[in-house]
Amino acid sequence: MDELVVGEAVRRGDLHARFGGTPQGAISPSSRSQMVMLFVAEQPVLNGFTGWGDDGVFHFAGAGMHGDQEMTRGNLALLRHKEQGRAVHLFHQLHMPSAYQGRVYRHLGRFEIDSNRPYYRADAPDSYGDMRTVLVFRLRPVDAALSDGPRLPVTPLTETRITKAPERAITPERRQPQVSGGAIVQRLTAEYASHLSGLGHEVVSPRVRVKGETSVAQIDLLDVTENRLIEVKHSAARQVVRTAIGALMDYRRFFHPTPTLTLLLPSEPREDLLDLCASLCIEVVWPSPEGGFVSTHD
């Protein structure tokens, strides 16, 4: 099999003809050539999470256009490339005349997942505008590699730092479409209610109309059997989790005796967000890959 040359410009179609792999998507594993090929667009969609960082690492946003990204398929193949004996090669799309046929990429070289911190999670909007969590892999060059390609506007810190934010004008927040997010909430709510009912629990969805208010608050679920208030969200992103915490704290004061609090998410949140919820005595629940649900109170 012919070898890849660092700096080589090649059509993507020709790459797959030579080495196999799938012709679509940013992550293309190939069992035929024991490779994982990574493709970075000329202008990455998640340009704040894909590119060279000041830490000398190439940060690469994972695959998945809608909802929280999961460690499956191409993402999992990239994470496990060492144990599977696959070499990772990174390609950056070149700007070509519109009349040119096919997408052309420059080979930036061979990379490998960082052993100490393979990836991290970050918050980013999906194609619908809904906030979700994305996987960002940390790739270190192996041997010679080109430093071409996009650069991160801000490299994530390895430790928490508190600084004074610059003053800025406050503008009204634009509401984002909630179509896909609403569908996720509806599905999760139904599945968890069915799960609880199967355990013999009485489950309702109460509404609260507050004194002096004209609006009605629709609470996702109340486990009457365990006196547990449940807020359901479409994503495990920090902004979404913080909003859910506020809602739970708000609703709790209307119930007597005071209920315990639960946050139901579509995927496991980051460790720091689990710590935040634990500090407020809020249980966090998410679906298990094996079926059923995982709880921080188990």
Strand positions, DSSP E, 114-155: 119-125, 131-145
Q: How many CB atoms are located within 10 Å of the residue 48 CB?
A: 15
Question: Over the stretch 18-28, which tens digit does the pLDDT of each residue have?
Answer: 999 999 899 99
Q: What is the pLDDT of residue 145?
A: 79
| 260-264 vs 228-232, strand pairing mode | parallel
pLDDT at 284 over 90: yes
Mean pLDDT of the chain: 88
Q: What is the pLDDT of residue 99?
A: 63
How far is the C-alpha of 224 from the C-alpha of 281, rounded, in Å? 19
How far is the C-alpha of 122 from the C-alpha of 158, rounded, in Å? 13
239 phi and psi, to 5 degrees? -60, -40
Quick one: average pLDDT of 265-269?
94
Question: Over the stretch 85-140, which tens digit does the pLDDT of each residue have?
Answer: 999 999 999 988 766 777 899 999 999 999 999 999 888 888 788 888 999 999 99
In the chain, what are the domains? 9-145 (2.30.280.10), 179-295 (3.40.1350.10)
pTM: 0.70
Task: Grade residue 281 by pLDDT with cuts at 50, 70 and 90.
Answer: very high
| Token pair 């739970």 in the structure block, residue | 248
Q: What is the pLDDT of residue 178?
A: 42
Q: Which two three-digit tokens encode residue 48?
A: 């704040």
Question: Over the stretch 192-250, which tens digit does the pLDDT of each residue have?
Answer: 999 999 999 999 998 887 776 556 788 999 999 999 999 999 999 999 999 999 999 99
